[in-house]
């Protein structure tokens, strides 16, 4: 077990075997070229190949090297923003379509894992934990709203006493349990999607960073050692887009988020903090999220930064967040600490769209990428095949550029983000 070429993480150490894919050498032709080997790119390649398209995917590092191989593993229902906010902002009709696509996204994750027999510890259930009374009130209202307005009966409010049993923590005033949500081993999910895409006929190359492309009726996509001449291009780079496509770079902001993995816990401790083997996340502005691994480690995500660098000691950076919820783990060894980069948008809803005649993109999932990026691949493939209805529902979500674009988005946004992070601590 374990794969090389990834950041040192619990996920890389417990990854299923994944043979290296040869870099692109020389010139090749394809109907569609996909840039990026995370969920967006892999799901696009899988669905395109399934439709009989000739597709080439180019990944700068290794498959799943980006956020898709490093995340918290939680596949939530709905969208990244609460349904009531979407109804207010976008109108009830659009919000309802987005709710339905959100359910389809989680169902698609399950369906792909089952159909392609992806070994990725897939389990049901996410528990949302509220720190403050107003968080608890909000979760209670949200559960009622989803039941009444959308007929969604798989979530329910959890009172404080039951929260103590389910989470093993006394920190929370109440919660919401969503039995329809899922959690999984994110890197093994990505590797499984890649294997399924490869079997479906997609050609995939690792260590093949795209340095640029020239637009035209056909697009010439260049790497250091080769090029692809494609009818269509899909940008699936999310937080790692960099300067590749300035026309969309200003609509996202890359941020870094961090995780740790403890040593394996003894069975009694694991049971005491998570008897139902749920994934959990809390109501902080900088969300803490956690779950158990298959070998009973606590995988805990907490803390983020907005600079080009990761903290020198990620384990010490994340650990206080874990201890605020589980002080009894003060003596527990931390075996891994790692970080990843994701893309957020100004309103925290994803940016789907088209540039010119033949470039599609989807990114900016703002921490909701397991379901949404997986679905993006299906919608991108359908849109390229001329069935853009679902894609258009997503593309209709307004995703304004950050004020000041790529140059100035940082100072103002970072001050704002730091302000809310500070409020969490008060």
Ligand X SMILES: Cc1cc2nc3c(=O)[nH]c(=O)nc-3n(C[C@H](O)[C@H](O)[C@H](O)COP(=O)(O)OP(=O)(O)OC[C@H]3O[C@@H](n4cnc5c(N)ncnc54)[C@H](O)[C@@H]3O)c2cc1C
Q: Which residues contact 89 (CB under 8 A, 6 or more apart)?
A: 347
User: What 3-state class would DSSP assign to 15?
Assistant: coil
Binding status of residue 112 toward ligand X by CB under 6 A: no
Residue 340 sits in the site that holds ligand X (CB under 6 A)? yes
Would you count residue 35 as binding ligand X (CB under 6 A)?
A: yes
Helix axes 39-50, 369-384, angle to 10 degrees: 40
The distance of closest approach from Cβ of residue 306 to ligand X in the complex, given in angstroms and rounded to an integer, is 13
Strand, coil or helix: what is 77?
Answer: coil
| Residue among 125, 175, 264, 301 that touches ligand X (CB under 6 A) | 301
Q: What does the DSSP 8-state code read for residue 66?
A: S
Measured from the CB atom, the residue of 90 and 362 that comes closer to ligand X is: 362
Minimum CB distance to ligand X, residue 204 (Å): 11
238 is an interface residue for ligand X by CB under 6 A: yes
Q: Which of 3, 55, 67, 146 binds ligand X (CB under 6 A)?
A: 67
Residue of 18, 72, 249, 317 interacting with ligand X (CB under 6 A): 72
| Residue with smaller CB distance to ligand X, 73 or 125 | 73
Count of chain residues binding ligand X (CB under 6 A): 43
Give least dist CB 344 to ligand X, A.
Answer: 9
- Among 210, 252, 379, 384, indicate the residue that binds ligand X (CB under 6 A): 210
Is residue 61 within the footprint of ligand X (CB under 6 A)? yes
Question: What tokens does 170 get?
Answer: 């006394």
- Asked if residues 45 and 57 have their Cβ atoms less than 8 Å apart, the reply is yes
| Residue 159 Cβ vs ligand X, minimum distance, rounded to whole Å | 25
**In this structure, are residues 70 and 7 in contact, taking their beta carbons and an 8 Å threshold?**
yes
Of residues 70, 123, 251, 360, which one binds ligand X by CB under 6 A?
Answer: 70
| Member of 53, 188, 257, 358 binding ligand X (CB under 6 A) | 257
| Contacting residue, 74, 169, 274, 332, with ligand X by CB under 6 A | 74
CB of 93 to ligand X, least distance (A): 25
The residue (of 140 and 237) whose beta carbon lies closer to ligand X is 237
Q: Which helix (H) or strand (E) holds 123?
A: strand 123-130
Asked if residue 68 binds ligand X (CB under 6 A), the reply is: yes
- 352-411 positions binding ligand X, by CB under 6 A: 363, 365, 367-370, 373
Binding piece for ligand X, criterion CB under 6 A, among 31-39, 159-167, 173-181, 418-426:
31-39
Place of tokens 């390649």: 45
Residue 284 contacts ligand X per CB under 6 A: no
Alpha carbon distance 166, 120 (integer Å): 23
Considering the rule CB under 6 A, would residue 36 count as an interface residue with ligand X? yes
Cα 220 to Cα 35, 56, 207, 362, 377: the distances in Å are: 12, 13, 18, 20, 22
Q: How far is the CB of 67 from ligand X (least distance, A)?
A: 3
Q: What residues from 122 to 151 belong to the interface with ligand X (CB under 6 A)? A: none
- Decide: helix, strand or coil at residue 339: strand
244 contacts ligand X (rule: CB under 6 A): yes
Q: Shortest Cβ distance from residue 156 to ligand X (Å)? A: 21
Q: Which residues contact 151 (CB under 8 A, 6 or more apart)?
A: none
Burial of residue 321, with CB atoms counted within 10 A of its CB: 0-12 exposed, 13-18 middle, 19 or more buried: buried
Q: Does 104 bind ligand X (CB under 6 A)?
A: no
End-to-end CA separation in angstroms for the chain: 43
In the DSSP assignment, the letter for residue 264 is P
Question: 98, 10, 18: which is closest to 301 by C-alpha?
Answer: 10
Taking the complex as a whole, how short is the minimal distance between the CB of residue 368 and ligand X, in angstroms?
5
What ranges make up the beta strands (E) of 151-225?
155-159, 174-183, 203-205, 210-214, 219-223
Take residue 349 and report the two structure tokens written for it: 């809803």
Q: Which chain residues interact with ligand X by CB under 6 A? A: 35-41, 58-61, 65-68, 70-75, 209-210, 236-240, 244, 257, 259, 289, 301, 340-342, 363, 365, 367-370, 373
């Amino acid at each position: 077990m374990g794969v090389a070429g990834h950041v040192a993480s619990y996920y890389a150490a417990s990854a299923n075997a994944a043979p290296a894919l040869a870099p692109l050498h020389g010139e090749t032709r394809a109907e569609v070229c996909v840039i990026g080997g995370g969920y967006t790119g892999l799901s696009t390649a899988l669905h395109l190949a399934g439709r009989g398209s000739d597709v080439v995917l180019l990944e700068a590092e290794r498959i799943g090297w980006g956020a898709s191989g490093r995340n918290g593993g939680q596949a939530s229902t709905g969208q990244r923003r609460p349904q009531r906010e979407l109804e207010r902002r976008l109108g009830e009709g659009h919000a309802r379509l987005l709710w339905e696509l959100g359910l389809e996204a989680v169902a698609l994750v399950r369906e792909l894992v089952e159909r392609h027999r992806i070994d990725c510890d897939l389990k049901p259930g996410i528990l949302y934990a509220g720190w403050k009374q107003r968080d608890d009130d909000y979760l209670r209202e949200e559960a009622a709203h989803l039941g009444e307005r959308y007929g969604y009966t798989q979530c329910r409010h959890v009172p404080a006493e039951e929260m103590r049993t389910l989470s093993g923590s006394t920190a929370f005033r109440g919660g919401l349990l969503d039995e329809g949500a899922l959690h999984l081993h994110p890197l093994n999910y990505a590797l499984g999607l890649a294997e399924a895409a490869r079997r479906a006929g997609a050609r995939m190359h690792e260590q093949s960073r795209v340095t640029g492309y020239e637009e035209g009726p056909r697009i010439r996509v260049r790497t250091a050692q080769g090029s692809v001449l494609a009818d269509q291009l899909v940008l699936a780079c999310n937080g790692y887009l960099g300067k590749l496509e300035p026309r969309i770079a200003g609509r996202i902001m890359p941020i870094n988020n961090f995780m740790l993995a403890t040593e394996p816990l003894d069975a009694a401790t694991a049971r005491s903090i998570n008897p139902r083997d749920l994934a959990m996340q809390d109501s902080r502005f900088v969300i803490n999220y956690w779950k158990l691994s298959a070998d009973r480690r606590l995988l805990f995500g907490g803390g983020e930064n907005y600079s080009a660098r990761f903290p020198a000691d990620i384990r010490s950076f994340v650990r206080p967040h874990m201890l605020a919820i589980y002080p009894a783990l003060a003596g527990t060894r931390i075996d891994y600490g790692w970080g990843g980069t994701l893309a957020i948008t100004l309103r925290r809803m994803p940016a789907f769209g088209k540039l010119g005649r033949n470039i599609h993109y989807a990114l900016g999932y703002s921490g909701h990428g397991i379901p949404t990026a997986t679905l993006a691949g299906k919608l991108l493939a359908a849109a390229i095949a001329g069935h853009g209805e679902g894609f258009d529902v997503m593309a209709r979500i307004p995703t304004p550029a950050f004020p000041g674009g790529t140059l100035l988005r940082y100072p103002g946004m970072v001050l704002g983000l730091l302000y809310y992070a500070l409020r969490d601590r008060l």
